[in-house]
Amino acid sequence: MEPLPPWPLTCLLLLALPGADAQVGQDFKDFKVQQLQDPVTVAAGQTITLTCTISGDGPAGPVRWLKGKDSGVTVYDQTGSSPRVTRAENGSDTDFSIHITDVQPEDAGTYYCVKFRNRLKGEEEFQRGKGTEVSVRAKPTRPVVSGPGRRVAPGESVPFTCVSGGFFPEEITVKWFKDKASISAQQPQITPAQTKSSYNMSSTVMLTLQRDDLRSNLSCKVQHPTLTDPLTGMFQLRDALRVPPSVRVATDSRSPVEVNETVIFTCDVEGFYPGDVDVTWLENRTEVKVEKLSKPVETPQGLFKLRSLLEVQATEEKNGSAFTCQVVHDGQAPVSETALLWISALAKGGQSDLFQTPYDNLLPIYIVVGVVCTVLALLVAAILYLIRAKQSKGKSSPSARLHEPEKSSEATTQESDPNNLTYADLNFEKERKTIRRMVEMSQQSEYACIQASRPPASDDNLTYADLDMVHLSKAPKRPAPCPEEATSEYASVQIPRK
C-alpha cells in the first residue's frame, strides 16, 4: 500500500480541531454585527441599554462589548463582566444587548459590540459594530467658596473663589451675591476633568471688605442644564475680616492723688474682631501682674469689647510713673496707651492731671510761644504803619519854609507899625539858565532871591527853601516886584510881625 501524500494528513488535523469543520472553505460573507442605536444621553445614576444583534453564520468565537475605538476596555464578556453590566437576553445566540446600571460620568464614551474568531494562536477581532456614543448628564457638585488665606483689615480688597466639578455637558452659569446684592465677576474658567468625561469650574471675584461686613454673607450660585434649581455655596465674610481695637486708659481718681491712696486705672479695649485678644499692663516698661482678667463681650454690631482694671498704691516712689495698657490682637503688632501718676505732695505747679501724656506737659509752652509770636507781629505791624504814615505826611506839594530869627528889642518897639513887613522873593527856575539877581535899590527893603534847579528824580518830588531872616529893614507896604524874565518864576512871601 502506497503511503498517503502529506496534504491529506494536514486536512485531517484541521478537521480534528473544534469548529474547524465550519470554518474551512467559508468566508462568512453573510455575517453582520448590527448597532443601529443613536447616541444615548442619560443622567448620572440611571440605567442605559446598549443594543447589539448578529445575523448570518459566523466563525466560532465569543462576542464582547468594548469601550473605545481601538483595542478598548472590555465592558462585557460572555465569560464574565462588571456587576453593573448584564445581558438583556440571556442565552440568545443573536441578541447581545446589555444593560449598564448606575451610570457615572466616567461611563461616558463610545461602546462597540465586537465578534471575535478563534485562531490557533488565540482570538482575533473578526467584526465590530459601528459603535454607540454614550453621554452622561452629570450634575455639578455643590460649589465651595473660599476666601483669602489671611484676615484683612477694613478697606482692603481680596479675592474669593468658587469651585464646582464633575458636570456634563460643559454649559454652566455662575452668579455672585453679597447678601442679596449682585456682584459682577469675570466669566468662569471651565476645564476638562482627568477622565475627559466631565468638566470642572472655577470663578473668582474681588471684594473690598468693610467694617460692617461682619454680618454679611458672600454666595456663589451655579446653574446647569441638569439642575432644576441652582446650587449655592456660602462664605461668612467675618471669617476673612479683622477689625483692630481702640485702646483708652482712664481713672476715676482726681488729680493729683494723695500719698498712699489707691488708684484704679481702667483700660477700655473696644471695637475689635475676632475676639481673641491679650491685654498686658506695664509700669515703666515692666510687666505688672493683674489679678482680675475680663472676657470679651460681643456687641450688637458683631464686634467685641472688654475692660481691664489695674489697682496701684500711690507711693512717693511711684510719682511720675508711666502705666501702659498694651493690647495684642489676633497676633498683630501691639496697640497701647500710657498714663502718668502724679502725687499731690510732690506735684509741681501746672501738673494737675492724674493721667497725662508727655504731649500734655508741653501745652503751656505752646501757649506762651503763641502769645509771644502774636505780640511781635503786632509790634512789627505798628512800626510799619508809623513809617508809612511819616512818609505819606512828607509827600506834599513844593513849599517854602521861612525861619525867622528871634526878635530883638529894637523890633519889639516897632511892632505897632502896620507897615513893618518883610518880603522874600523865591525864584524857581524851570530851565537850567542863568537868572539875574534882582534887588530893589532901596534902603528900606531887602530881598532874598533863591534859585531852585530841577528836582532829582525820586518818589517825593519836593522843593524846599529855608530862609533865615537876620536883618531886614522896614519899608512902607508896596507891591511885590514882577519877574524880570519869562524864563523865571518868583514867589513873594509876606511875613507880618507879631
* CA dist 420 → 219, 274, 471, 480, 497 (Å): 118, 110, 13, 15, 7
- Structural contact between residues 72 and 84, judged by C-beta atoms closer than 8 angstroms: no
User: Which overall architecture, per CATH, does domain 247-356 show?
Assistant: Sandwich (2.60)
Q: In what order do the strands lie in the sheet with 98-100?
A: 48-50, 98-100, 85-87
pLDDT in tens, 95-144: 999 999 999 888 888 999 999 999 988 889 999 999 999 999 999 999 99
- The residue that leads in pLDDT, 209 or 365, is 209
Kindly indicate whether the domain formed by 144-240 is annotated with CATH number 2.60.40.10: yes
pLDDT in tens, 131-148: 999 999 999 999 999 999
Please state the domain extents for the chain. 24-137, 144-240, 247-356, 362-392, 399-498
d(CA 440, CA 484): 12
d(CA 387, CA 394): 11
pLDDT in tens, 361-387: 455 677 878 888 898 989 888 898 888
pLDDT tier for residue 197 given thresholds of 50, 70 and 90? confident
pLDDT tier for residue 428 given thresholds of 50, 70 and 90? very low
Of 58-67, 173-182, 280-289, 466-475, the range with the lowest mean pLDDT is 466-475
d(CA 255, CA 419): 91
Q: Closest Cα to residue 465, out of 428, 419, 437, 438? A: 428
Predicted confidence at residue 27, as pLDDT, reads 72
Of 319-328, 333-342, 476-485, the range with the lowest mean pLDDT is 476-485
- How confident is the model over 173-181, as a mean pLDDT? 95
Measured from the Cβ of residue 198, the count of other Cβ atoms closer than 10 Å reads: 23
Predicted confidence at residue 483, as pLDDT, reads 52
d(CA 111, CA 37): 11
Domains 144-240 and 247-356 belong to one CATH topology:
yes
Predicted confidence at residue 234, as pLDDT, reads 96
Position 433 pLDDT exceeds 60: no
Predicted confidence at residue 227, as pLDDT, reads 93
At the topology level, CATH places domain 24-137 in Immunoglobulin-like (2.60.40)
Predicted confidence at residue 277, as pLDDT, reads 93
d(CA 380, CA 304): 57
d(CA 451, CA 490): 10
- The residue that leads in pLDDT, 267 or 485, is 267
pLDDT in tens, 253-309: 777 888 989 999 999 999 999 999 999 999 999 999 887 778 899 999 999 999 999
Predicted confidence at residue 395, as pLDDT, reads 53
pLDDT tier for residue 388 given thresholds of 50, 70 and 90? confident
Average pLDDT of the chain, as a whole number: 77
pLDDT tier for residue 319 given thresholds of 50, 70 and 90? very high
